[in-house]
């Protein structure tokens, strides 16, 4: 009885293709179309996918994803601020549109219907003779105010600072943590403006969040053991500018600075073993305190 000739191996995914190459992980034969280069030899697509699932994604020192190095959140925030300015200008085109010294639509610093609608305002009569403000239930102003600006110059100054500070912080913290830092700092500054400003004073601007980013950058860089000597003078200059120039919301800037620093401390010093839990809990506690302060101020204005 004659022996049968040896059978040539075929690719397990393409049975019509002969091959003598085997996956270094599962030892199944694979054809050139199925070969995936590995550190040693080649692997099949299934083993490559399984290996990817078993590898933990890279994280920053503070638990965020490394995709933050692309600065997507920073760019998105700038885009939103620019969009709000365009809408602000558009809102002033009808009726008593701002012209003259303030520039059309508030281009050089004037108020517009949109800024009147979205600014931090305690309690006052609006241009349509209706009573409005946060104390009147318009809590959205605590958020919208951080995306509105009085003119192009106001916007450009804040967006330049956001571009410089935001990319570094987003790369170190990751997208989600950076977004939370920005929003909580901005909210904290607006709550401070609500607490300590005249109820008839309207304030807008991303500077509440930007000052929070200044404080956060100092804390994060210090936590990483980096030199912060070039950051502090810039912050001091901005603080002097805040205190010296009339019309700037001092409570808003200082409130954003303090709340941004608190949030950064939570993000930077959360214990590694329970990092995400502590960071989320810390952010929630800060938000709860801000809520209590808003309720306290509202009760004051309504009594």
Identify the residue whose tokens are 């000597």. 229
Contact 264, 215 (CB under 8 A): yes
Q: For the chain, how far is it from start to end, CA to CA, in angstroms?
A: 108
* Measured CA distances, 246 to 58, 189, 193, 243, 286 (Å): 47, 18, 15, 8, 30
Here the tokens at position 108 are 């050089």
Contact 259, 188 (CB under 8 A): yes
- Rg of the chain taking only CA atoms, in angstroms: 28
Dist CA 160 CA 89 (whole Å):
20
- The one catalytic residue among 42, 149, 154, 253: 253
- The one catalytic residue among 91, 197, 207, 249: 207
Q: Is 4 a catalytic residue?
A: no
Q: Is 127 a catalytic residue?
A: no
Phi-psi region of 23 (alpha: psi -120 to 50; beta: other; left: phi over 0): beta
User: In the Cβ-directed half-sphere of 259, how many Cα atoms lie within 13 Å?
Assistant: 33
Active site residues: 207, 253
């Amino acid at each position: 009885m004659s022996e049968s000739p040896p059978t040539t191996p075929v690719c397990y995914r393409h049975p019509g293709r002969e091959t003598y190459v085997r996956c270094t992980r599962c030892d199944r034969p694979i054809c050139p179309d199925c070969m995936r280069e590995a550190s040693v030899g080649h692997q099949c697509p299934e083993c490559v996918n399984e290996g990817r699932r078993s590898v933990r994604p890279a994280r920053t020192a503070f638990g965020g994803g490394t995709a933050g190095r692309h600065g997507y959140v920073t760019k998105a925030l700038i885009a939103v601020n620019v969009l709000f300015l365009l809408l602000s200008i558009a809102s002033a085109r009808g009726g008593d549109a701002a012209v003259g010294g303030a520039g059309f639509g508030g281009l050089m610093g004037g108020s517009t219907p949109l800024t009147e609608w979205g600014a931090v305002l305690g309690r006052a009569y609006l241009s349509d003779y209706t009573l409005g403000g946060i104390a009147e239930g318009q809590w959205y102003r605590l958020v919208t105010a951080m995306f509105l600006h009085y003119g192009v110059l106001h916007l450009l100054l804040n967006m330049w600072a956001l571009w410089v500070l935001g990319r570094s912080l987003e790369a170190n913290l990751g997208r989600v943590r950076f977004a939370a830092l920005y929003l909580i700092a901005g909210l904290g500054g607006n709550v401070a403006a609500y607490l300590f400003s005249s109820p008839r004073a309207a304030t807008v601007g991303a500077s509440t969040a930007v000052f929070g980013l200044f404080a956060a950058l100092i804390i994060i860089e210090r936590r990483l053991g980096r030199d912060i000597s070039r950051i502090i003078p810039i912050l001091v200059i901005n603080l002097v500018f805040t205190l010296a120039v009339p019309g700037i919301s001092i409570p808003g800037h200082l409130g954003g600075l303090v709340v941004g620093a608190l949030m950064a401390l939570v993000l930077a010093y959360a214990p590694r073993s329970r990092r995400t839990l502590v960071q989320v809990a810390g952010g929630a506690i800060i938000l709860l305190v801000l809520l209590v302060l808003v309720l306290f101020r509202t009760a004051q204005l309504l009594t």
